[in-house]
Amino acid sequence: MATIEYRQASRVYDPTRPAAVNRISLSIEDGEFLVLVGPSGSGKSTAMRMLAGLEPIDEGAVLIDGKDVSQTRARDRDVAMVFQSYALYPNMTARQNMAFALENARLPKAVIAAKVQRAADMLELGPLLDKKPSAMSGGQRQRVAMGRSIVRDPKVFCLDEPLSNLDAKLRVSTRAQIAALQRELGVTTVYVTHDQTEAMTMGDRVAVLQDGVLQQVDTPTHLYEHPGNTFVAGFIGSPGMTLLDGVTVRAGRALLGRDHGLDLGLPRELAGKVADAVIVGVRPEAWQIVGAGEEEPPGEAAVPVRVALVERLGAEAFAYCDAVTTPGSAVGVRGGRVAIRLEKGAAQIHVGQILQVRPAPGGCSFFDPVTEINLEYL
């Protein structure tokens, strides 16, 4: 059990390029499940490897239980890593794989047997203990790899994309198992993934990285509802927020569309934080369809979009639409794509159709047009 602290910690592989991990400051509580998430190359693995002692810390420090471990060797940090490529010994059974590190540490045989049995019970590995990795499924091998870490009773678990080799269904069930197991063990855990759904469903808190820079650390719900900037807004959520650039602010109101415009409900306490324009973020579920066809519905300000793809997932359906540019409009849809969650009964929506859509009242987030920071945080 341990607390972890990154203090302005950086890793610079190549001095001619930006730091792979750039002055990260982050405190992780004892027993917490923290997920590092971000696109490929954002520095997640490097940040985790700095904690495990597999990468040097070029600037700043990493502390475990308040003690600076920046110069401590990996094996003396008491951090257990589980990698994506299970790295099991192929010629050993599950039991031997799990016992290996304990035997090296010359623990008594009875203690080893008890620890392996306890981990096997937790992971429901009993029937597999005498099998070799080649006779196991991917998910089973992953559980043995977990077991091998658990038996060591480490202070900290580090899991680097442990589920990426599993098929979609197994990923969902293993994700739930790992989260439940972590809660049962109460070991402080850092988990790396590029998959925001995994991050949101597993983490007590989620830390979002981009280009080596920590963007925001928060609970999944708070990240979703109050993204700190446009990057987090677009990255978190599946599909992410649609961003509208260049929305006019007049007399404290954010207005979209022609004539009087559609009032997007910029809260009064935020209006003073911007000048004449704002970036507006709209979640897929916040769009309302108010009409179909080229014509704006009478008495309604709306945005025209053309349906490019309809994704029906059973319980949910999304329409991915292309923004239809309106002559004279200063508003730009970032990426040109609008993702809309379809209400039940929207079965008639089809590709090629033009829809008139508008954000529901109170459904928007507002970002500073220069810094792209959510106005709530300014």
Name the residues that contact ligand ADP, by CB under 6 A.
Answer: 13, 20, 38, 40-46
* CB of 41 or CB of 138, closer to ligand ADP: 41
Q: Alpha-carbon distance 179 to 203, whole Å?
A: 8
Q: How far is the CB of 205 from ligand ADP (least distance, A)?
A: 18
- DSSP-derived pairing of the beta strands 332-333 and 337-341: unpaired
What sections of the chain are H helices per DSSP? 44-52, 94-104, 109-122, 138-150, 168-185, 196-202, 220-225, 230-235, 268-271
Q: How far is the CB of 38 from ligand ADP (least distance, A)?
A: 5
Q: How far is the CB of 164 from ligand ADP (least distance, A)?
A: 11
* CB of 81 or CB of 244, closer to ligand ADP: 81
- DSSP-derived pairing of the beta strands 287-292 and 303-312: unpaired
Q: How far is the CB of 20 from ligand ADP (least distance, A)?
A: 3
* CB of 160 or CB of 296, closer to ligand ADP: 160
Q: How far is the CB of 83 from ligand ADP (least distance, A)?
A: 12
Report the largest interatomic distance among the alpha carbons of the chain, rounded to a whole angstrom: 81
Give one DSSP letter per residue of 105-149, joined into a string.
TT--HHHHHHHHHHHHHHTT-GGGTT--GGGS-HHHHHHHHHHHH
What sections of 151-296 are H helices per DSSP? 168-185, 196-202, 220-225, 230-235, 268-271
Q: How far is the CB of 18 from ligand ADP (least distance, A)?
A: 8
* CB of 165 or CB of 248, closer to ligand ADP: 165
Q: How far is the CB of 260 from ligand ADP (least distance, A)?
A: 46
Nearest 10 degrees: Cα torsion 43, 46, 50, 56 = -110
* CB of 55 or CB of 296, closer to ligand ADP: 55
Question: Coil, strand or helix: which one is 214?
Answer: strand
Reading the block at residue 259, the tokens are: 């004539």
H or E segment and range at residue 81? strand 79-82
Q: Alpha-carbon distance 51 to 67, whole Å?
A: 12
* CB of 84 or CB of 142, closer to ligand ADP: 84
* CB of 240 or CB of 284, closer to ligand ADP: 240
Q: How far is the CB of 11 from ligand ADP (least distance, A)?
A: 8
Residue in the structure block whose two tokens are 């590995």:
125
* CB of 49 or CB of 171, closer to ligand ADP: 49
Reading the block at residue 235, the tokens are: 């990255």
Q: How far is the CB of 53 from ligand ADP (least distance, A)?
A: 15
DSSP class of residue 12 equals -
* CB of 87 or CB of 180, closer to ligand ADP: 87
- How many other C-beta atoms lie within 10 A of the C-beta of residue 259? 8
